Structure 1
Amino acid sequence: MTTAHGGPGDPSPSTHDLTEQLHHRLDRIEALLSGEGTPVAGAGASPSQPVWRTKTEGEQRWAVTAAILCAVVLQFFLPSRLSIHPRWMLPALEVGLLLALAAMHPHRRLDRNTRVLRSLSLALVAAISLANGWSALKLVRELLHGGGAAGALSLLSTAGAVWATNVIAFALWYWEWDRGGPAARAEGVADYPDFLFPQMQQSGVAPAEWEPGFLDYLYVAFTNATAFSPTDTMPLSRWAKLTMMLQSAISLLTVLLVVARAVNILQ
């Protein structure tokens, strides 16, 4: 016996529509990644040019500046035993590099790409990562040997500062390396993206001039540190996958050791 929708084994119209939409989405993503499809957004893009190859306005510097200053402040909240001595050295270096970048490029938008600016910017991120990496190693060593903070609240606040700074540091690395950094992304010079954001996959979900900014990379770093895996933004290049894997491993190790130590203290 048949129905108006077809034979006994035919899928329902809703299932068929969902299947067609899924195949259409996969074909669209494949075409975009190969540079042969129609771009989903971006002013001035041609049918043969994906959105990340178009020139856009550089992003404003306020978000990344606020995150860097937050990381510097968090370093001062850490106990002295977890910091590189002299304790003021790396935070002072980070603030100095930030001021140097602002002096060399005193504009609101990050649209200038020179070797000197690029080197200073990467040195700043490296200094933050070095300071926090040292603190994380010292914290893990204390947790493994049962030393360090005697109270659960003190332990959680210290570990939280290290964890939060770690999120900021990896967000800065993602922001600096994806398609060559913020200035290179604004120029649209990269052939392929390192991260595939949802706004790059479907039209109508973001403005035509949408470009990922630091807050988008901060979200990627935060969700990767909490879920221990990518969520809505997929890493495409090998360096992006390895960096996200490293961040997940560090976050997982820190959380497990801190929780175990805190439970032991409370008992």
Structure 2
Amino acid sequence: MTKIREQARMRHPRHERRGEARLPGVAATVVAILLYVALPQQLLLAPRYVVPTLEVLLLIPLIAINPRRLTRQTTAFRFLSLALTLIIAASNLSALGILIHELLYAGVKDGRALLVAALQVWLTNIIAFGLAYWELDRGGPVARTQLPRDELPLADFRFSQDENDDAVQEVADGASISSDWVPKLLDYLYVSVTNSTAFSPTDTMPLSSRAKLLMSVQSVAALLISLLVIARAVSVLH
């Protein structure tokens, strides 16, 4: 069995793959931008289109560097991708802070609008942190597919595939050590969804201090939305 798995890795080495598709990352970013644009003006720190315009200006060169597949990683690409993710997350967290302030001190009466805004912030929170996990873990999406496994930076997350090699055959065959599997954007978005709903890790464990910090911030933000914002909006509806 070990010999068969080794032969499979030699036939399809991960660092010779075409790289992760560009479209999912672009789609997630565009959805986050549109959710921000649709927020009420009182939740925005700047005029409505300032932040989205900056995000689009960062996204365009990222697409130009890797238009179809994420195979090239330059210093500029790394800086722009991390900056874009940071802006999406920071602008959404600021909107959450303003929303909480409005609830506590402004006496918001429009419960329906509040529910919609809370949902927008919650969804953007999932996308923003999913993108952050995707960009940081093991050197980012380019490094995960283009570098040999023994050259990858230390992992920020431990997925179930990373420890399934001793399971039954049909499960073990999909494990990282057997198939040279690495996580993609959807895997990190799933981590983000579960962290925003369970307020804690589920099947994917954070390993690094920065991963634990990011998951803690996301969990607290999701908890505030659930307990304070939505609870207040429901009470206003009644």
The two structures share one fold, judged by TM-score above 0.5 = yes
Residue of structure 1 aligned with 2:225, choices 254, 257, 264: 254
Cα distance, 1:182 vs. partner? 0.7
- Summarize deviations over 1:181-219 as a string: whole Å, max 9, x none: 111111132253211111221144327243210011001
1:56·1:209 contact (CA, 8 Å) conserved in 2? Answer: no
Structure 2 equivalent of residue 144 of structure 1: 104
Normalised by the size of structure 2, how large is the TM-score?
Answer: 0.85
**1:245 pairs with 2:216:** yes
Q: Distance in 1 between matches of 2:14 and 2:234?
A: 52
One-letter amino acid of the counterpart of residue 101, structure 1:
L
Residue of structure 2 aligned with 1:168, choices 112, 118, 127: 127
Aligned residues: 221
Structure 2 equivalent of residue 213 of structure 1: 184
- Summarize deviations over 1:146-189 as a string: whole Å, max 9, x none: 533x2322111110001111111111110111011111111132
Structure 2 equivalent of residue 117 of structure 1: 77
Report SS of the residue matched to 1:230.
coil
Structure 1 equivalent of residue 143 of structure 2: 184
Consecutive aligned runs of 4 or more in structure 1 exceeding 4 Å deviation = none
Q: Distance in 1 between matches of 2:73 and 2:65?
A: 11
One-letter amino acid of the counterpart of residue 71, structure 1:
A
Structure 1 residues 240 and 72: alpha-carbon distance in aligned structure 2, compared to 1, 3 A threshold:
same
**1:43 pairs with 2:5:** no
Q: Is the helix fraction higher in 1 or 2?
A: 2
Cα distance, 1:85 vs. partner? 1.8
1:44·1:54 contact (CA, 8 Å) conserved in 2? Answer: no
Report SS of the residue matched to 1:55.
helix
Q: Which runs of 5+ in 2 are unaligned?
A: none
Instruction: Note the aligned Cα RMSD (angstroms).
Output: 2.3
**1:236 pairs with 2:202:** no
Q: Distance in 2 between matches of 1:68 and 1:133?
A: 16
2:139·2:153 contact (CA, 8 Å) conserved in 1? Answer: no
One-letter amino acid of the counterpart of residue 197, structure 1:
F
One-letter amino acid of the counterpart of residue 134, structure 1:
S
- Summarize deviations over 1:127-155 as a string: whole Å, max 9, x none: 2122212211100111222533x232211
Q: Distance in 2 between matches of 1:69 and 1:190?
A: 29
Q: Which runs of 5+ in 1 are unaligned?
A: 1-37, 46-52
- Summarize deviations over 1:44-102 as a string: whole Å, max 9, x none: 49xxxxxxx96362211111111000001101110011112221111011111111111
Listed as ranges, the matches of 1:42-121 within 5 Å are: 43-44=9-10, 55=15, 57=17, 58-106=19-67, 108-121=68-81
One-letter amino acid of the counterpart of residue 112, structure 1:
R
Q: Distance in 1 between matches of 2:66 and 2:228?
A: 42
Normalised by the size of structure 1, how large is the TM-score?
Answer: 0.76
2:118·2:230 contact (CA, 8 Å) conserved in 1? Answer: no
Q: Distance in 2 between matches of 1:95 and 1:165?
A: 16
Structure 1 residues 228 and 181: alpha-carbon distance in aligned structure 2, compared to 1, 3 A threshold:
same
Structure 2 equivalent of residue 226 of structure 1: 197
1:56·1:211 contact (CA, 8 Å) conserved in 2? Answer: no
Q: Distance in 2 between matches of 1:54 and 1:236?
A: 23
One-letter amino acid of the counterpart of residue 152, structure 1:
G
Structure exhibiting the larger radius of gyration computed from Cα positions: 1
Q: Larger deviation: 195-204 or 247-256? A: 195-204
